[in-house]
Structure 1
């Protein structure tokens, strides 16, 4: 067992199970091409052929590029549905966007999942709901809206602190501090962090803490300069944020009280850079 607020089940090394978008084969029975077949066809096309075979995808990418340039970190997200694209166009979108640093899942009511994958263009996301092809879209923003909505709608605003079991050292004052900060926090105020790496917390403390706060509906992984795993707890605005080294050992274990942790968010400079990069790709390959 690894120490930390989030403890992986016995035999599991990854607390977040991510299903990358765009890797599975398409259903040939009603979609015509497999993913491999679509990519193979794309590889044989020059820019003129791409314009003829994937006009809707190229128009959409141009619209996305223009929209990224207008996006700000504090503005509403912008959404582009993929329902009108054919299979070749969808594969072209996947090939252009690729997979970036942040991925995750959101547990939805009814037991289904929304899969999230940031593209190689920071601030441009692919979002797809399981078993619902109509919810397959590109979203531009700091983080997909479904993350912020689930964090607000599928968590509770307050929690009770039960009787402490045997072996508890510091969990009760820590939970009291978390509850006080949670009830006082408002959007726009500074995120507050509790660092378990520096606190003398026993295994019994951490177990009681997790049992009290519970796991929430959102799991995110950022794989930038290291691995960071973000888990929404069952309490609104309380997040477990853990940083790991190359040996999958926790080097920083925290709880954050605030909005979606900044490690998972795109910033204004990301939108500026992504808009330039996408326009360069369009000019190089499709014009």
Structure 2
């Protein structure tokens, strides 16, 4: 199921930390004291973070340009990236670092102007949950279209699951390949659920595209292989699909890795 097409996705090429070993980086590190002070704070926050707790935001908007560039080089680009549009029109562009659970978030206004630049320690940036919190927690629809097969009982099931869902419940997964859906079914399902404010992409063994629908806690999750062939098409009823979330052990691993980087290059 495609609820809304994925547009231009943020680049996800992992930045190598080799930059930090260059003479250019050494000179930049020497004058970027804000970055040197920030890294231990980030490592401490990662060590304390729990997957089920709110994260911590570090504002680097007023850091010098060199510091912000050095932070970008140090954090690199990890597997998960995305965009969330908040109800006030502000857009959050999110990129997980090579250290899971550590994110760079740039907030822009409706004209694309940067209004805030942050680093966040969290399982998922708070902007994702904030954007989704304004969505309705129920669905409504008209009569079944001509040619419909299974969409009406499916919508009843989705509506029931939305109403029963509570924070922390395991995801309820609907796999479209397990039962027949006509083109009319899929079109009506997309029309009923609508498009939501969040688009995420996770790249590991293939590509997973995670798109919020217009109903709270309902997500389109599509998995593609290395040749961009769709291999799994699902609808998940949950808070945030787990494929986008940093796990509990990720925070400890990332804290240790960031401390190693700080000790090796910023002391």
TM-score by length of 2: 0.91
The structure 2 residue matched to 1:91, chosen from 66, 69, 73, is: 69
Match of 1:148 in 2: 129
The structure 1 residue matched to 2:10, chosen from 1, 6, 19, is: 19
Output the CA distance in 1 between the equivalents of 2:131 and 2:97.
21
Q: Spell out the pairing of 1:164-183 with structure 2 (5 A cutoff).
A: 164-183=144-163
The structure 2 residue matched to 1:243, chosen from 216, 223, 226, is: 223
Q: Deviations over 1:231-260 (max 9, x none)?
A: 000001101111011222211111111110
Match of 1:33 in 2: none
**Runs (4+) of structure 1 moved beyond 6 Å?**
none
Residue 16 of structure 1 deviates from its aligned partner by 4.0
Residue 161 of structure 1 deviates from its aligned partner by 2.4
Match of 1:34 in 2: none
Residue 75 of structure 1 deviates from its aligned partner by 1.5
Unaligned runs of 5+ in 2: 13-18
Output the CA distance in 2 between the equivalents of 1:100 and 1:255.
25
CA contact (8 A) 2:219 2:237 kept: yes
The verdict on how the C-alpha distance between 1:206 and 1:88 changes in structure 2, with shifts beyond 3 A counting, is: same
Q: Spell out the pairing of 1:1-287 with structure 2 (5 A cutoff).
A: 4-6=1-3, 8=5, 15-20=6-11, 43-46=23-26, 49-50=27-28, 52-109=30-87, 111-130=89-108, 131-153=112-134, 155-287=135-267
Unaligned runs of 5+ in 1: 9-14, 22-38
TM-score by length of 1: 0.85
RMSD: 1.9
Q: Which moved more, 1:160-169 or 1:205-214?
A: 160-169
Output the CA distance in 2 between the equivalents of 1:203 and 1:248.
21
Output the CA distance in 1 between the equivalents of 2:40 and 2:29.
12
CA contact (8 A) 1:57 1:92 kept: yes
CA contact (8 A) 2:4 2:211 kept: no
Q: Secondary structure at the match of 2:177?
A: coil
Residue 110 of structure 1 deviates from its aligned partner by 5.5
Residue 76 of structure 1 deviates from its aligned partner by 1.3
CA contact (8 A) 1:50 1:286 kept: no
Residue 280 of structure 1 deviates from its aligned partner by 0.5
Residue 223 of structure 1 deviates from its aligned partner by 0.3
